[in-house]
């Protein structure tokens, strides 16, 4: 009953391939028509179907002929240059996917760091146990956190000048930077813990500003 995500590969089974073909062809034609209608753009689709009697299908504008002949009239260089063949399309897709993947990896790393730091704060583990390689990511997280914190503090300053200005100095990003640069985790991390406490204090002072909106 649990449909697997359908591997993007040639469907071996003849009958299901044909079924898929029919459904998806219909889907594409509909989409093409919608694009043409919504955006007033000539759209043409060719499908060299081995299943339909006719080897081509045009779902769109009557004057698509004209577009086609315009295409023919262009110098060969210009049009081949700009044509995306399947290979280049796939390459594009892959590079996009790689980028997304990279981004997600980084994000995962940061989440992991947040967890580790949480554990440190609650006493489950100690900052000295953090892997050397993870210190960079850890630093990013802290830096990001400090940025948010400072933003909050500035908002706070506007509402309540006296109590918040003194906090601002402590929450400077310069505290976090050494972690990234030098890899000396302990001191900066203790600073961070202090800031946690500062955050608590701030929350007590100004309950109306929801500092817990911070993601961690």
- Which one of the spans 30-38, 60-68, 73-81, 134-142 is the region binding DNA (CB under 7 A)? 30-38
Q: Least distance (Å) from its own copies to the CB of residue 29?
A: 7
Which two structure tokens, joined as six digits, stand for 213?
């909106």
Give yes or no for residue 106 binding DNA (CB under 7 A).
Answer: no
Give yes or no for residue 124 binding DNA (CB under 7 A).
Answer: no
Task: Report yes or no: 17 and 11 within 8 Å, Cβ to Cβ.
Answer: yes
Which one, of 108, 143, 115, lies nearest residue 129 by Cα? 115
Give yes or no for residue 147 binding DNA (CB under 7 A).
Answer: no
Give yes or no for residue 19 binding DNA (CB under 7 A).
Answer: yes
- Which one of the spans 11-19, 67-75, 79-87, 120-128 is the region binding DNA (CB under 7 A)? 11-19
- Which residue, 28 or 198, is less far from its own copies as judged by CB? 28
Dist. CA 43–CA 20, nearest whole Å: 23
Q: Identify the residue among 2, 32, 145, 165 touching its own copies (CB under 8 A).
A: 32
- Which residue, 40 or 161, is less far from DNA as judged by CB? 40
Task: Report yes or no: 125 and 172 within 8 Å, Cβ to Cβ.
Answer: no
Q: Identify the residue among 2, 3, 5, 10 touching its own copies (CB under 8 A).
A: 10
Which two structure tokens, joined as six digits, stand for 152?
């909050």
Dist. CA 118–CA 110, nearest whole Å: 12
Q: What does 198 interact with, of its own copies, DNA, none (CB < 5 to 8 A by kind)? A: none
Q: Identify the residue among 1, 76, 77, 162 touching DNA (CB under 7 A).
A: 1
Which one, of 62, 27, 26, lies nearest residue 44 by Cα? 62
Dist. CA 186–CA 106, nearest whole Å: 23
Dist. CA 182–CA 57, nearest whole Å: 63
Interacting residue ranges for DNA, rule: CB under 7 A: 1-6, 14-16, 18-20, 22-24, 26-28, 30-31, 38, 103
């Amino acid at each position: 009953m649990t449909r697997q995500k359908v591997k993007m590969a040639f469907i071996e089974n003849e009958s299901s391939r044909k079924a898929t073909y029919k459904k998806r062809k219909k889907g594409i034609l509909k989409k093409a028509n919608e694009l043409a209608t919504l955006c007033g753009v000539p759209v043409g689709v060719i499908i060299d179907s081995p299943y339909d009697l006719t080897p081509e299908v045009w779902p769109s504008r009557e004057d698509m002929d004209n577009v086609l002949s315009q295409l023919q009239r262009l110098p060969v260089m210009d049009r081949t240059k700009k044509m995306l063949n399947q290979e280049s399309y796939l390459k594009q897709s892959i590079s996009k996917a790689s980028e997304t993947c990279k981004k997600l990896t980084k994000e995962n790393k940061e989440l992991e760091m947040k967890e580790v730091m949480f554990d440190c704060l609650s006493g489950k583990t100690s900052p000295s146990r953090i892997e050397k390689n993870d210190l960079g990511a850890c630093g990013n997280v802290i830096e990001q956190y400090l940025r948010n914190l400072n933003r909050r503090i500035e908002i706070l300053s506007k509402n309540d000048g006296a109590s918040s200005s003194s906090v601002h100095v402590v929450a400077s990003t310069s505290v976090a930077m050494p972690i990234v640069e030098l890899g000396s985790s302990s001191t900066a991390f203790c600073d961070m813990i202090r800031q946690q406490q500062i955050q608590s204090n701030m929350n007590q002072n100004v309950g109306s500003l929801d500092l817990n909106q911070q993601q961690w």
